[in-house]
Amino acid sequence: MKAAAFAYARATSVVNALELLAAHGDKAKVLSGGQSLMPAMNLRLLSPDILVDIGGLAELRGIAVRGDVLVVGALTRHVDLLGSPEIALHAPLLRDAVAHVAHPAIRNRGTIGGSLAHADPASELPACVLALDATIVVRGPAGERRIAATEFFKGIYETALSPDELLVAVEVPVAGQGVAFFFQEYARRHGDYAIVGLAACAVVAAGSFSDLRLGFFAVGDRPVLAAAAGKLINASVTPALLAEATAALADELDPQEDQQATAAMRRHLAAVLLRRCAAALLARPELEKGATR
């Protein structure tokens, strides 16, 4: 189908974009790369009165290291994340995740800011920013505010952004000593929406986790930072302990049932991913099999 009629404004600056958003409130939608917004509009799931196109704002582009923080501009495209030496060095989780986001032609236009603001519970980048303990930088009429990624996602397509605010950047802590990452997802075909996925960030020292952040996606109405990770931190990870953690994970998750999978199947796959993640990050392949029953 075709999108319903709407008005179009090409923002000339962030300030101008904020003026436009203030004037139109929730009747406006921000257009970044458009790779989620345009399908939703073509399917008539969304029909905003006006699109505010921020695509030309150079001030929202680019990746920079400031001290121990990696600042990723909202308009940074998926293809930019894939090719960036800074991302490869300081936050390779984002690169690994983006390789699973759709297909080359989509990755050439889709942006990190757009993906986070859209907040599809099955998409990869929201779970990554949870795992990375990133901060979402937002600008509004009252100035700038910083929102912890853990506070940002509120539900299906819902975030802490208000209609007069613009997501301008993501701040990611630079990966320090001993930090390791894991990314895997189940999808029917590579590039499809995940059935279940896991983006994880860990600190591994002397064969155990001194920190572990598990960002699961496609398991509920928003990405989930699993509390079950706590069972594996500062502990000797045995198959029995891992079985305890996967049981806690299954209790904690409240996955939806849809055409792709039942809730039980999603719980099962999440447990498989957790075992694989522990096995990979601790370099102990035997953990993947789980406890013998």
Partner 1 sequence: MSAPVSVSLLVNGEPIDAVVLPRLNLADFIREHLKLTGTHVGCEHGVCGACTVRVDGEIVRSCLMLTVQAQGASVETIEGLSDSGEIADLQAAFRERNALQCGYCTPGMLMTAQDLLKHVSMPDRPAIREHLSGNYCRCTGYQAIVDAVEATARTRAERRA
Contact residues: partner 1, CB under 8 A:
1-8, 10, 31, 34-35, 38-39, 42-43, 49-51, 53, 55, 79, 102-106, 108-109, 189-191
Nearest distance, CB of residue 20 and partner 1, angstroms: 14
Closest CB to partner 1 among residues 118, 275: 118
CA-based R_g, the chain, Å: 19
Nearest to 279, CA basis, from 267, 268, 291: 291
Q: Which residues pair with 8 in a beta bridge?
A: 51
CA distance 278 to 240: 13
Nearest distance, CB of residue 100 and partner 1, angstroms: 11
Closest CB to partner 1 among residues 101, 261: 101
Closest CB to partner 1 among residues 25, 207: 25
Nearest distance, CB of residue 105 and partner 1, angstroms: 4
Residue 150 parent element (H or E): helix 149-152
Sequential DSSP letters for 105-141:
HHHTT-BHHHHHHHT-TT-HHHHHHHHTT-EEEEEET
SS3 (DSSP) at 211: strand
Nearest distance, CB of residue 255 and partner 1, angstroms: 24
Residue 198 parent element (H or E): strand 196-205
CA distance 262 to 266: 6
Closest CB to partner 1 among residues 6, 157: 6
Closest CB to partner 1 among residues 1, 206: 1
CA distance 213 to 225: 7
Closest CB to partner 1 among residues 3, 69: 3
Nearest distance, CB of residue 39 and partner 1, angstroms: 4
Closest CB to partner 1 among residues 28, 219: 28
Q: Where are the beta strands (DSSP E) in 54-190?
A: 63-66, 69-73, 135-140, 143-148, 153-155, 158-159, 166-173, 179-186
